[in-house]
Amino acid sequence: MKRWRNSRVREQAAGYLFILPNFAGYVVFVLTPILFSLYLVFVDWEYLKGFAGIRWVGLDNFRELGNDPKFLHSLKNNVVFTAISVPASMIIGLLLAVLLNKYVYMRNTLRTIIFLPYMASLAAVSVIWSIMYNASSGPINAFLKSIGIAHPPGWLSSPQSALYAIIIMSVWMTIGYTMIIYLAGLQGISKDLYEAADIDGASKLRQLLQITVPMLSPTTFLILITQLIWSFQVFAPVAIMTQGGPIDSTMVLSYHIYLEAFRFYKMGYAAAMSWVLFAIIFVVTIVQWQGQRRWQNHF
């Protein structure tokens, strides 16, 4: 009996040893900063004085949220960004997946081409797109002018179009991801269903809407959740392409947090906002999980 327990303990110890390097990294670089940021939520930190500059303020940081028009404005931009970019990327990704699944020649090459942007560095992509968006000498506006549009949008330099310019780039980047996941989902749908529908005389469109889309609903949920989390955290394109401008038209929460922390040194307030951002993403995700369970019970 004792021997058995010993070996079990040793086995467990070995297991812990194996995960130790990874776990230590996690504790030092992820867990500790997260817990520390949770503490910062309740303090006002005069950063230049080091740890001595920390002062407990309770919930003041959250009260300040209500007085910060930029917080609400950023939140609104986040919602617009997500509400457009996520569905757009999913619909285009689904259509491409269906097409590439059977109807096209050279589909491997095309798949690679569409997936490529997703693998590219976000920073590099942002720089290249900001060159393309250049209002006076960029290729996009040069093309628009050549087909007869006299006053093409100012893209990144106009408060009306800057957010949409970033949305377009972001959709272009993420359709590769949604397409690949949908392609995998399509492999799981039995051909019998389509054969039966063909015999019944259903059109291709009807097959798409009534077989493919419902059968893909678990895949759709997976993509929805990952894309939603990702899109709520949008930061790099804003930081690189517009710095939140013009006139805050592309100011999103994560960039607002960044500025408050690293330009204005309001660490406590920035930490409070980042936990609000976390709470929003968390709640949306929970709602989706619940919704998914209910939806899938239909089938």
Partner 1 sequence: MKRTTATAIGAVLAASMILGGCGGSNDGDGQTASSAPSASGGSGKAITLQFWGGVPPESGPQEAVDNWNKLHPDIQVQYTRFVNDDAGNLKLETALLSNQDAPDVFMSYSDFNVTKRVEAGMIEPLDDLIAQVGFDVDGIIGVDNIKKFPDGHYYYLPANRNIGATLINKTALEAAGEQVPEAWTWDQFAALAKKLTTGDMKGTAMDAALNNYGEHLLAEEKPLDSYIKDDGTSNFDSPALKQGLELQKDLESSGAQLSRAEAVANKLTNQDALLTGKAAMVVSQIYMLRYIKDTTNYPHDFQIVFAPVPQLTEGGNVNIGGGMGDFMSINKNSPNKDAAIQFMDWYLKEGNMAMVPGGRIPTNKQADQAKIAEMLIGDAGDLIDQASLQAALSGDYVFPTSYNVPAPTELHQVYTEEMEKYLLGAQSIDAATAALKKRGDETIASAKK
CA distance 94 to 257: 34
Q: How many CB atoms lie within 10 A of CB 291?
A: 12
Binding test (CB under 8 A) with partner 1, winner from 42, 95, 144, 157: 157
Q: Residue 47, interface with partner 1 (CB under 8 A)? A: yes
Q: Residue 5, interface with partner 1 (CB under 8 A)? A: no
Interface characters, 122-141, with partner 1 (x: CB under 8 A) = --------x--xxxx-----
Tokens 């209910």 belong to residue: 294
Q: Residue 3, interface with partner 1 (CB under 8 A)? A: no
Binding test (CB under 8 A) with partner 1, winner from 45, 155, 255, 269: 155
Binding test (CB under 8 A) with partner 1, winner from 102, 263, 294, 298: 263
- Please write down the HEC assignment for all residues of the chain: CHHHHHHHHHHHHHHHHHHHHHHHHHHHHHHHHHHHHHHHCCEEECHHHHHHHEEECCCHHHHHHHCCHHHHHHHHHHHHHHHHHHHHHHHHHHHHHHHHHHCCCCHHHHHHHHHHHHHCCHHHHHHHHHHHCCCCCCHHHHHHHHCCCCCCCCHHHCCCCHHHHHHHHHHHHHHHHHHHHHHHHHHCCCHHHHHHHHHHCCCHHHHHHHHHHHHCHHHHHHHHHHHHHHHHCCCHHHHHHHCCCCCCCCCCHHHHHHHHHHCCCCHHHHHHHHHHHHHHHHHHHHHHHHHHHHHHCCC
Q: Quick one: 137 or 146, whose CB is closer to partner 1? A: 137
CB of 198 to partner 1, least distance (A): 35
Binding test (CB under 8 A) with partner 1, winner from 19, 20, 27, 30: 30
CB of 259 to partner 1, least distance (A): 8
CB of 107 to partner 1, least distance (A): 23
Residue 275 half-sphere exposure toward CB, CA atoms < 13 A: 19
Q: Quick one: 212 or 260, whose CB is closer to partner 1? A: 260
CB of 173 to partner 1, least distance (A): 11
Q: Residue 25, interface with partner 1 (CB under 8 A)? A: yes
Q: Quick one: 13 or 279, whose CB is closer to partner 1? A: 279
Binding test (CB under 8 A) with partner 1, winner from 37, 101, 207, 226: 226
Binding test (CB under 8 A) with partner 1, winner from 93, 153, 154, 237: 154
CA distance 245 to 65: 21
Binding test (CB under 8 A) with partner 1, winner from 242, 252, 256, 270: 242
Q: Quick one: 212 or 231, whose CB is closer to partner 1? A: 231
Q: Quick one: 230 or 295, whose CB is closer to partner 1? A: 230
Applying CB under 8 A, which residues contact partner 1?
Answer: 25-26, 29-30, 46-50, 53, 130, 133-136, 154-159, 177, 225-226, 229-230, 241-243, 245-248, 259, 262-265
